[in-house]
Amino acid sequence: MSKTTMTRRGVLKTGAVAGAGVALPTIFTASSAAAYTNEPTGSSVTLGFNVPQTGPYADEGADELRAYELAVEHLNGGGDGGMMNTFSSKALSGNGILGKKVEFVTGDTQTKSDAARASAKSMIEKDGAVMITGGSSSGVAIAVQGLCQEAGVIFMAGLTHSNDTTGKDKKANGFRHFFNGYMSGAALAPVLKNLYGTDRNAYHLTADYTWGWTQEESIAAATEAMGWKTVNKVRTPLAATDFSSYIAPVLNSGADVLVLNHYGGNMVNSLTNAVQFGLRDKVVNGKNFEIVVPLYSRLMAKGAGENVKGIHGSTNWHWSLQDDASKAFVKSFGTKYGFPPSQAAHTVYCQTLLYADACERAGTFNPCGVVEALEGFEFDGLGNGPTLYRAEDHQCFKDVLVVRGKENPTSEFDLLEVVEVTPAAQVTYAPDHPMFAGGNLGTCNPGA
């Protein structure tokens, strides 16, 4: 099937050029009436929200669903419009997507790749979803991204931080707004150097799947480059809830830094165990023992309680940011739910708007039109500053936040503070960087 198929509307395909959200039209030509998988024929369009409703990342999944529902409300003209009002692209007008009311179905990934693929497959084949989005695990994201490529639908990744999602496992039908392990390492290393010096011995505990592996590789490379030594790297099962047996060996390892390449419930439990073992009160090699959590979230901080105070990590976004877009999103989300959104909520809300906007600019739901509208798209007004959706790998490049647990929080939500906004240029890498090598983006698949 040609990449130049189109919808009934006739149809402008838009691709971004210089200037945030500015686009020029390219003409699509029709080849058939049913040109792509699940082409909407009625007055509505169905999106599939595939999130962990059970399992170790369920807290993130619940917040993702809240944000998806808010995004749908805004796309359909409800609420205050949120970040549609601050988004540099003005293609969205609150009348759904391409005049069709947005409806949605949900699935439970269970933080398991097989379950996630099964739920995504059902949403595509039984519910007619034209786009799948979500997930809080890179293993899930990579599995579902592959399925969507085969099925001929767009995948707008949720919370996935593995380098592989837009590295060796990248797909033409898949797009990631969230940052990745390399970016965390590039943002954190200079801060850690200033705080703890260059003569440190690090011990890594790592979630044993694609995200943990690439996060470990990234932070180890970044810290070793500034002089740190890596004492040990130990993999832990994603299903683990008690990390005592993994923490105990750290005590006699000669390490003076513990790097927890854990997320969600894993991080809450491993950090709690580390504090119970007294690691934060230790002095090793004449230095105070330190703990680093490369990927942080407010939901994790809440779960870990007092134990997060003073601990540094990185995050994609935080509700305390004072730009107009972040304030608009926090206001919309807070009004609807009574508390501020997490970074998981933020990234999936952005992804939903970015997909809808791409459809509007392309004049079609055809995945190939959406791909061309997103590739090289420059935009602003979604809470991360000027952002590029790079064409070569479908990764967003934007500022990254370094945060630490607050010593004196003023509320149950005021747990992290931003200590540095790392500019996008500092976390940008070449598309053929060794950590992202292998794989092939391929070409868009419109399916039917």
> pTM score, two decimals?
0.91
The two structure tokens encoding residue 402: 């370094």
CATH class (in words) of the domain with range 44-179+319-398: alpha beta
Quick: pLDDT tens for 106-144: 999 888 899 999 999 999 999 999 999 998 788 899 999
Quick: pLDDT tens for 354-410: 999 999 999 999 999 999 999 999 999 999 999 999 999 999 999 999 999 999 999
Quick: pLDDT tens for 142-201: 999 999 999 999 999 999 999 999 999 999 999 999 999 999 999 999 999 999 999 999
Instruction: Show me where the domains of the chain are located.
Output: 44-179+319-398, 182-315
Tell me the pLDDT band of 318, cut-offs 50, 70 and 90.
very high
Given a cut of 60, whether residue 340 has pLDDT beyond it is yes
Given a cut of 70, whether residue 90 has pLDDT beyond it is yes
Q: Provide DSSP, 200-256.
A: -EEEEEEESSHHHHHHHHHHHHHHHTTT-EEEEEEEE-TT----HHHHGGGGGTT-S
**How far is Cα 27 from Cα 38, in angstroms, rounded to an integer?**
22
Given a cut of 60, whether residue 14 has pLDDT beyond it is no
CA 375 centroid distance within chain: 17
Element (H, E) at 147: helix 138-151
Let me know if domain 182-315 sits in CATH 3.40.50.2300. yes
What percent of the chain lies above the pLDDT cut of 70?
92
Domains 44-179+319-398 and 182-315 share a fold: yes
**How far is Cα 384 from Cα 397, in angstroms, rounded to an integer?**
9
Pick the closest to residue 20 from 398, 417, 408, 441 (CA basis). Answer: 398
Tell me the pLDDT band of 34, cut-offs 50, 70 and 90.
low
**How far is Cα 121 from Cα 112, in angstroms, rounded to an integer?**
14
Given a cut of 60, whether residue 104 has pLDDT beyond it is yes
